[in-house]
Amino acid sequence: MDKKEFDKLAAINKFALGEEEAERIFARLEQSIGALAPLAQAELGDAPIMVYAKGIVPVYREDQVSQSISREEILAGAPEQAEHCFSVPRVAD
């Protein structure tokens, strides 16, 4: 990553960085990326890609749509309702 790319990412993410702070963070980022560079040179042969460590595989369940609480039960505790929803006072214009 060069400084131009870093500045673009900082702008996209709306980071408000001073020039000195941006230079310091960029230098650290460059150092971190540099430390990972030897991994790109590693000879992997035909080793399979490891997705989960130690053979742990996540257990998935089927999604089942169900309604555990009715809308009426939810709105029963609302101080005010409007159009089947909670009504709250406006706090900003």
CA–CA distance, 53 with 44 (Å, rounded to integer):
17
pLDDT, averaged per 10 consecutive residues of the chain (93 residues), comes to 88 89 92 89 83 78 85 87 86 84
85 φ, ψ (degrees, to nearest 5): -135, 165
pTM of the model: 0.44
**pLDDT score, position 55:** 73
**pLDDT score, position 89:** 84
Q: Which amino acid is at 67?
A: Q
**pLDDT score, position 66:** 82
